């Protein structure tokens, strides 16, 4: 699984166009060129990376809000209503992504032709809608288990003590759902960063691309390989992304282990005091 990534990292230190040799030896020249904005390939890559991150963060935030509200609403609905909502939520999860992309395109074209009299709606907003549609069901699936584990008496007690439903959700329910909300947000970001099909079908002009079609890293790679080999500057970029992800995982793991150790030590000290 990791051999292709290792090969990519190794040849990020080679300036050769094609992977397989070190004509100029071991060099950091590609890393230097990556941050040289005078280079057209470098500019294209940073624009695509910026677009990718902006879309991922915004769509993940919107999907997290919708998915969380949907999970809470479905959980407190009647049994039949909850079953219908859960089955509807499963459709985008198990459905082929190409079907979802084509459906969105047909809908946007229909709305543009019929409601807005032939207007071209494809822009950042259609792309954002596509990513939210892709991500929201997965947020729902991450939040739902936390609702099942939560003691329902907490919410009811908050209402009995004078909280409004909104205040009870904000101060009692949301803190209990935070782990599920965070995991759903991270899954949504991952899906958005990784997406190609929906992006290719629903994008238009906007963001850092200006009047041109929005380019993300996935669409940029696809456009480049049509004309020739993958730009060499993508090698150091993907290496830096990989190192960043690994570093984040290590830091989160250390933090969790440290938190668990502190809780364990605190509980032991409390037990000794009580004994």
Smallest Cα–Cα separation from 47: which of 265, 212, 194?
Answer: 212
Q: What is the pLDDT of residue 28?
A: 87
Q: Give pLDDT tens digits for 186-202.
A: 899 989 988 899 999 99
CA atoms of 242 and 220, how far apart (whole Å): 18
Q: Give pLDDT tens digits for 97-146.
A: 899 999 999 999 999 888 888 888 898 999 999 999 999 999 999 998 88
Smallest Cα–Cα separation from 133: which of 97, 173, 87, 84?
Answer: 97
CA atoms of 32 and 207, how far apart (whole Å): 26
Question: What tokens were used for 11?
Answer: 């040849």
Whether residue 253 has pLDDT greater than 90: no
Q: What is the pLDDT of residue 213?
A: 87
Exposure of 96 in the CB half-sphere (CA atoms within 13 A): 3
Q: What is the pLDDT of residue 154?
A: 81
Whether residue 275 has pLDDT greater than 70: no
Q: What is the pLDDT of residue 173?
A: 83
- Residue 97, CA distances (Å) to 117, 122, 123 in order: 29, 18, 20
Whether residue 268 has pLDDT greater than 80: no
Strand partners, 165: none
Q: What is the pLDDT of residue 60?
A: 94
Q: Which CATH class is domain 40-232?
A: mainly alpha
90/24: higher pLDDT? 90
CA angle (237 as vertex; 232, 239 as ends), nearest 5: 105
Smallest Cα–Cα separation from 128: which of 210, 180, 61, 221?
Answer: 61
What average pLDDT does this structure show over 161-179? Answer: 83
Q: Specify whether the CB–CB gap between 98 and 197 falls below 8 A.
A: yes
Question: What tokens were used for 149?
Answer: 């584990």
Q: Specify whether the CB–CB gap between 140 and 181 falls below 8 A.
A: no
Residue that is written with structure tokens 């039949």 in the block:
80
Q: What is the pLDDT of residue 271?
A: 66
Question: What tokens were used for 122?
Answer: 């494809």
Q: What is the pLDDT of residue 211?
A: 83
**Which residues neighbour 203 within 8 Å (Cβ) at sequence distance 6 or greater?**
122, 126, 127, 213, 214, 216, 219
Q: Specify whether the CB–CB gap between 218 and 224 falls below 8 A.
A: no
Q: What is the pLDDT of residue 163?
A: 82
Q: Give pLDDT tens digits for 39-64.
A: 888 888 899 999 999 999 999 999 99
Question: Could you tell me what percent of the chain has a pLDDT over 90?
Answer: 21
Q: Give pLDDT tens digits for 14-45.
A: 888 888 777 777 888 888 888 888 888 888 88
Question: What tokens were used for 180?
Answer: 């599920």
Q: Specify whether the CB–CB gap between 130 and 198 falls below 8 A.
A: yes
Q: Give pLDDT tens digits for 213-222.
A: 899 988 888 8
CA atoms of 174 and 169, how far apart (whole Å): 6
């Amino acid at each position: 699984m990791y051999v292709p990534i290792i090969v990519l990292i190794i040849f990020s230190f080679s300036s050769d166009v094609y992977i397989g040799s070190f004509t100029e030896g071991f060099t950091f020249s590609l890393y230097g060129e990556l941050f040289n904005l005078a280079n057209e390939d470098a500019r294209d890559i940073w624009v695509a990376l910026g677009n990718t991150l902006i879309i991922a963060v915004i769509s993940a935030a919107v999907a997290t809000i919708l998915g969380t509200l949907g999970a809470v609403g479905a959980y407190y609905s009647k049994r039949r209503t909850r079953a219908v909502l859960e089955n509807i939520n499963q459709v985008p999860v198990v459905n082929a992504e190409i079907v979802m992309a084509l459906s969105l395109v047909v809908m946007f074209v229909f709305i543009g032709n019929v409601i807005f009299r032939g207007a071209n709606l494809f822009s950042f907003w259609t792309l954002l809608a596509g990513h939210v549609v892709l991500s929201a069901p997965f947020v729902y699936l991450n939040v739902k288990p936390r609702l099942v584990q939560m003691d329902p008496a907490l919410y009811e007690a908050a209402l009995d003590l004078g909280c409004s439903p909104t205040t009870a959700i904000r101060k009692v329910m949301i803190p209990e759902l935070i782990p599920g909300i965070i995991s759903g947000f991270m899954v949504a970001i991952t899906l958005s960063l990784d997406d190609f099909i929906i992006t290719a079908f629903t994008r238009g002009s906007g963001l850092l691309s200006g009047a041109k079609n929005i380019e993300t890293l996935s669409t940029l790679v696809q456009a480049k390989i049509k004309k020739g080999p993958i730009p060499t500057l993508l090698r150091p970029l993907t290496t830096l992304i990989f190192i960043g992800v690994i570093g984040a995982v290590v830091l989160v793991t250390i933090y969790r282990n440290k938190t668990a150790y502190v809780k364990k030590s605190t509980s032991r000290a409390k037990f000794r005091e009580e004994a």
